[in-house]
Amino acid sequence: MVVEPSDAKNYEGHGYNLLVKETEGKIMDCRNWILDYCETNGISKVVMLDDDIGFQKRRIDAPGRFIYTLTEEDILQLFVNVYNNLDKYAHVYVAHRFMAQYLPPLKQPSSRLVGSTPITWTS
């Protein structure tokens, strides 16, 4: 987890693997810093998330409804899907549940965004 110096104390001692950015800045500065850090250190796959997100997954029996209590295995599977798809696509995104019922389950690369693919998963 990348944090700014002023936020480091909020995350220390909670089991996070922290990387403290040298300076404070706007979110775009932080994202560029992450990309520069990864490029300098030979890290080829980058996933950026906010620290205030939640996860839900679509139900197979009712695609317009979602399961809100996920297991660690559910969340791990999401990241395995993202990681594996980054081998095939330059950009991968995870859709917000709003209107996600109108996204089809992933069967082939998205024709709407070249080099991108949506990750939706169902249970």
Tell me, yes or no, whether 67 and 95 share the same domain. yes
Same domain, yes or no: 43 and 61: no
Region of poorest pLDDT, from 24-33, 70-79, 97-106, 111-120: 111-120
Q: Which residue has the higher pLDDT, 54 or 104?
A: 54
**Using one digit for the tens of pLDDT, what is the confidence trace for 49-70?**
776 777 777 777 876 777 777 7
What is the tens place of the pLDDT at every residue in 12-34? 888 878 888 887 878 888 888 88
Q: What would the mean pLDDT of 59-84 be, rounded to a whole number?
A: 81
Task: Provide the domain limits for residue 106.
Answer: 54-123
Bridge partners, residue 2, by sequence: 19
Residue of 86, 95, 94 lying closest to 115 (CA atoms): 86
**How far, in Å, are 73, 92, 93, 121 from residue 101 at the CA level?**
22, 18, 15, 11
For the chain, how many structural domains are there in total? 2
Same domain for 86 and 41: no
Answer yes or no: do 81 and 111 share one domain.
yes
Same domain for 63 and 82, yes or no, is yes
Residues 46, 61: one domain?
A: no
| Domain shared by 3 and 42, yes or no | yes
Residue 58, classified by CB atoms within 10 Å of its CB into exposed (0-12), middle (13-18) or buried (19+), is buried
Q: What is the pTM of this model?
A: 0.59
